[in-house]
Amino acid sequence: MGWSTILRGTKNGLAITWELARVIIPVFFCVTILKYSPALPWISEHLVPIMQLVGLPGEAALPLVLGYFLNIYAAIGAMLPLGMSIKEITIMSVMLLLAHSLPMEAAVAKQTGVPVFGLIMVRITLSFLSGMFFNLIL
Amino acid sequence: MLEILREAVFGSLINVIQIALIVIPLMVFIEIIKDLNWLRLLTAAMAPLTSWMKLKKEAGLPLVAGLVFGISYGAGIIIQAAREGTLDYRDIYMINLFLVICHSVFEDTILFAAIGAAWLPVLVFRLLLAVVVCLVVARFWPSYPEHLFREGQKAMKNVLE
């Protein structure tokens, strides 16, 4: 342990920041523009019945789907411009932490030799149930 | 239009900088954990959990590695253990089940804390959920008797040699 440890950590931290910036900035741009276009209100209006179950506004479906299919960074980039409340951010965080980067992480789990379809279903189910639970207790 | 662009530029930059200020020290901390070999200590602390789930004690290391460093790192250790024959299918499935529900607890928690989430209840909930789901599954999935597994492993070794 010493300077080399700190240097390695800083390097990894910068690498993650770069990965994160590369995703968050473009997604943030797109969602900010979408927010002022008629598209996002239209989409969110149609998703209200589902999102209501977990106490989130319709447009929160966008970061949720991005998180499920891409990764947490994309979800965060899309959440930020929506100006959500602490309660909504917390519900989103529990839902996203239980299910995110599903294609990528399923590929990793597959490498260890287990069937992954069941694991993905467990994650999505737990994600929604936990969202409902946090909506009730917060 | 200019107003929207300004909001996008400043909003995204400020948020990325905010996250960077938290992620970089965290990564230094994680490198320190690796250097001091705290992974062994944490693995020892996991012993009661692995025995509740009726897993072999060797399952502790990939569990801790996945919890601290993330699912890919945990998977690397699982693959290695599977090759050496120290874990059977049930162990490997249970580790996967635990880790898909709860992994990289430091990084993920801090990312959401940085954007204002109430991180502590989320973290506690995620850990508890992984433990409860795994205990329930473990209850209905009896483990392969340890002595039979060891014998099978020995027989396999004899064949290979």
Name chain B contacts of A96, Cβ cutoff 8 Å.
112
Range of the domain at A128: 3-137
pLDDT at B154: 66
Residue B161 predicted with pLDDT over 60: no
Looking at the structure of chain A, the number of domains it has is 1
Split at pLDDT 50, 70, 90, the class of A1 is: low
pLDDT tens for each residue of A39-91: 888 888 899 999 999 999 999 999 999 999 989 999 999 999 999 999 999 99
pLDDT at B147: 57
Which of A25, A97, A98, A138 best probes binding to B when mutated, by most B CB atoms within 10 angstroms? Answer: A97
Which of A112, A125, A126 best probes binding to B when mutated, by most B CB atoms within 10 angstroms? Answer: A112
* Closest-CA distance of chain A to residue B26, Å: 8
Name chain B contacts of A9, Cβ cutoff 8 Å.
24-25, 27-32
Residue B158 predicted with pLDDT over 80: no
Residue B146 predicted with pLDDT over 60: no
Burial A20-58 (b: 16+ CB within 10 A, else e): bbebbbebbbebbbbbeeeebeeebeebeeebeebbbeb
What gap in Å lies between CA A84 and CA A93, rounded to an integer?
A: 12
pLDDT at A41: 87
- A110 touching B, CB under 8 A? no
- Whether A89 sits inside 8 A of B117 (CB atoms) is yes
- Whether A1 sits inside 8 A of B115 (CB atoms) is no
pLDDT at B135: 92
Nearest CA in chain B to A33: B4
- Whether A113 sits inside 8 A of B13 (CB atoms) is no
Instruction: Look up the ipTM and state it.
Output: 0.87
* Closest-CA distance of chain B to residue A46, Å: 25
For A97, the closest of B24, B30, B122 (CB atoms) is B122
Between A5 and B160, name the one with better pLDDT.
Answer: A5
What percent of chain B has pLDDT above 90? Answer: 32
pLDDT tens for each residue of A19-32: 888 888 999 989 88
- A136 touching B, CB under 8 A? no
* Closest-CA distance of chain A to residue B147, Å: 23
pLDDT at B153: 63
- A37 touching B, CB under 8 A? no
pLDDT tens for each residue of A88-107: 999 999 999 999 999 988 98
Nearest CA in chain A to B80: A112
Task: Name the nearest CA neighbour of B146 among B76, B84, B54.
Answer: B54
Task: Name the nearest CA neighbour of A119 among A132, A109, A130, A104.
Answer: A109
User: Could you tell me the residue ranges of all domains in chain B?
Assistant: 2-160
Name chain B contacts of A8, Cβ cutoff 8 Å.
31
- Whether B27 sits inside 8 A of A9 (CB atoms) is yes
Note whether B28 and A7 are within 8 A (CB): no
Rounded to 5 degrees, φ, ψ at B144 are -65, 125
pLDDT tens for each residue of B55-101: 888 899 899 989 998 888 888 888 888 788 888 888 999 999 999 99
What percent of chain B has pLDDT above 70? Answer: 88
pLDDT at A16: 85
Q: What angle do CA B25, B31, B35 make, to 5 degrees?
A: 145
pLDDT at B56: 87
